[in-house]
């Protein structure tokens, strides 16, 4: 049917900021302060930047799991587009035929269209079939040809799936059903003021009342709460009671085929633990855009925080515990394989998953840390979380001070 000419943009690593980055780069959009393609770091910062959130969940029929937020999740996609006044052409319909026609029309316009697709339906994610799971995420579709859809989605490689599978993924959730968006040129005149706005929002998410939920779940208070839950033995939601050694503790640390454990939320490729490295990159760009070198102080503190998060990740799955060390190696390998080789690495990714499943079964019956060692282990994690808290408290103060000397 139609393919975008010369499409080769696969550098985006996050569903939202990565998809926008890829679309703008293909369309030749250049950032005024660099003369180069817009960085994902700039987009991440403008979407709300770094954040912290701590949550635990347990649904009937599923094991408990943890969720750590490392970036703003309060409508970051639209927040980013609004901040840069990016023109948006959106088409949405209830019917598959019209949905495909709208996508073809967007491709024929020469833009890189963004569609929303269920990540559990997309085969290269290799999630188990389960009616209880769904998640509509933005991805680039850069071609439909010979009943095959060509996608750019977090991997450095092109991803190919049957066109009918893409149609099913686009239809999974009513709110985003058959939605397609194309983007225009940002209004770069807004950039300096919007960078300031984004930095203020980021600081607010760390130390003001959160937009929803309780203080214990977000920001600097959330870090203190997590540290307390790691050492507290009386609270029903403490790790001593909620994530006791066995399957529950494994889920908190490693996760399973669907739910990410604490290590996976923190560990990122390219020296970007808890996405602090990327946010530091944004702050360095912000210092140039605003001609405020003082912002580099906050960038430097987030670089130190990134190192401290990396230490925490390694403490969660320490090399001294062979089972947890192997789990860490397998989790890192899965992510690297997908980024570097995409769907062509599925066999190796599945082998890693199978081994992780076997380790989980073994740890459920006989967890590799026991007795007093578990108490000391949790205390070590809590101490590291408190180090992160202190660094990020200082980083937030530095961000605020840049605009309130």
- 22 and 151 part of one domain: yes
- 318 and 205 part of one domain: yes
Share of the chain above pLDDT 70, in %: 99
- 154 and 229 part of one domain: no
Residues with pLDDT less than 50, the chain: none
In a domain, 55, yes or no: no
- 227 and 353 part of one domain: yes
Q: How many folded domains does the chain comprise?
A: 2
Give dist(CA 200, CA 391) in Å, integer.
18
In a domain, 63, yes or no: no
What residues contact residue 330 under an 8 Å CB cut-off, 6+ apart?
A: 352, 355, 356, 359
Answer yes or no: are the C-beta atoms of 151 and 161 closer than 8 Å: yes
Q: Helices marked H in 33-162 — which ranges?
A: 40-46, 76-83, 96-108
Which H or E element spans position 324? helix 322-341
Give dist(CA 17, CA 14) in Å, integer.
6
pLDDT at 271: 64
In a domain, 359, yes or no: yes
pLDDT of 243-268, one tens digit each?
999 999 999 999 999 999 999 999 98
Give dist(CA 328, CA 350) in Å, integer.
16
- 359 and 378 part of one domain: yes
pLDDT at 72: 95
- 103 and 170 part of one domain: yes
Give dist(CA 70, CA 68) in Å, integer.
6
pLDDT at 213: 85
pLDDT of 81-140, one tens digit each?
999 999 999 999 999 999 999 999 999 999 999 999 999 999 999 999 898 899 999 999
**Among residues 123, 155, 183, which one ends one of the domains?**
183
**Among residues 183, 202, 222, which one ends one of the domains?**
183
- 357 and 237 part of one domain: yes
CA angle 390, 53, 391 (to 5 degrees): 15
- 154 and 246 part of one domain: no
pLDDT at 212: 85
- 151 and 286 part of one domain: no
pLDDT at 270: 64
- 217 and 95 part of one domain: no
In a domain, 60, yes or no: no
- 384 and 262 part of one domain: yes
pLDDT at 324: 98
| pTM given for the model | 0.96
**Among residues 161, 183, 205, which one ends one of the domains?**
183
CA 389 vs. chain centroid, Å, equals 20
In a domain, 79, yes or no: no
Q: What is the full DSSP assignment across 366-377?
A: S-SS-THHHHHH
What is the domain extent for residue 319? Answer: 188-401
In a domain, 62, yes or no: no
- 239 and 334 part of one domain: yes
In a domain, 64, yes or no: no
Helical axes 76-83 vs 15-26, angle rounded to 10°: 40
In a domain, 51, yes or no: no
pLDDT at 241: 96
């Amino acid at each position: 049917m139609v393919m975008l000419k010369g499409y080769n943009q696969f550098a985006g690593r996050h569903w939202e900021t990565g998809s926008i980055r890829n679309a703008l780069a293909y369309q030749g959009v250049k950032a005024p302060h660099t003369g180069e393609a817009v960085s994902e770091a700039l987009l991440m910062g403008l979407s709300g930047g770094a954040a912290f959130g701590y949550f635990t969940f347990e649904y009937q029929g599923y094991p408990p799991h943890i969720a750590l937020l490392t970036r703003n999740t309060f409508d970051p996609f639209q927040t980013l587009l609004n901040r840069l006044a990016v023109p948006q052409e959106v088409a949405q319909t209830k019917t598959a035929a019209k949905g495909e026609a709208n996508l073809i029309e967007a491709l024929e316009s020469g833009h890189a269209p963004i569609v929303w697709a269920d990540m559990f339906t997309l085969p290269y994610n290799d999630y188990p079939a389960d009616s209880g799971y769904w998640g509509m995420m933005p991805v680039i579709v850069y071609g439909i040809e010979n009943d095959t859809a060509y996608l750019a989605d977090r991997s450095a490689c092109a991803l190919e799936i049957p066109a009918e599978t893409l149609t099913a993924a686009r239809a999974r959730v009513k709110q985003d059903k058959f939605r397609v968006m194309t983007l225009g040129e940002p209004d770069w005149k807004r950039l300096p003021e919007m960078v300031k706005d984004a930095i203020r929002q980021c600081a607010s998410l760390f130390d003001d009342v959160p937009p929803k939920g309780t203080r214990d779940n977000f920001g600097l208070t959330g870090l203190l709460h997590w540290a307390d839950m790691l050492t507290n033995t009386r609270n029903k939601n403490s790790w001593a009671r909620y994530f006791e050694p066995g399957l529950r503790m494994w889920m908190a640390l490693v996760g399973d085929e669907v739910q990410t454990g604490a290590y996976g939320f923190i560990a990122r490729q390219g020296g970007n633990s808890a996405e602090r490295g990327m946010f530091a990159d944004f702050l360095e760009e912000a210092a140039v855009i605003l001609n405020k070198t003082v912002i580099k102080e906050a960038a430097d503190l987030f670089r130190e925080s990134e190192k401290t998060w990396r230490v925490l990740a390694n403490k969660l799955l320490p090399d001294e515990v062979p089972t947890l060390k192997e789990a860490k190696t397998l989790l890192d390998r899965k992510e690297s394989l997908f980024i570097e080789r995409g769907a062509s690495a599925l066999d190796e990714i599945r082998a890693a998953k199978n081994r992780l499943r076997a380790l989980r079964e073994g740890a459920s019956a006989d967890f590799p840390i026991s007795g007093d060692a578990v108490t000391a282990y949790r205390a070590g994690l809590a101490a590291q979380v408190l180090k992160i808290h202190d660094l990020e408290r200082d980083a937030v103060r530095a961000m605020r001070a840049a605009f309130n000397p």
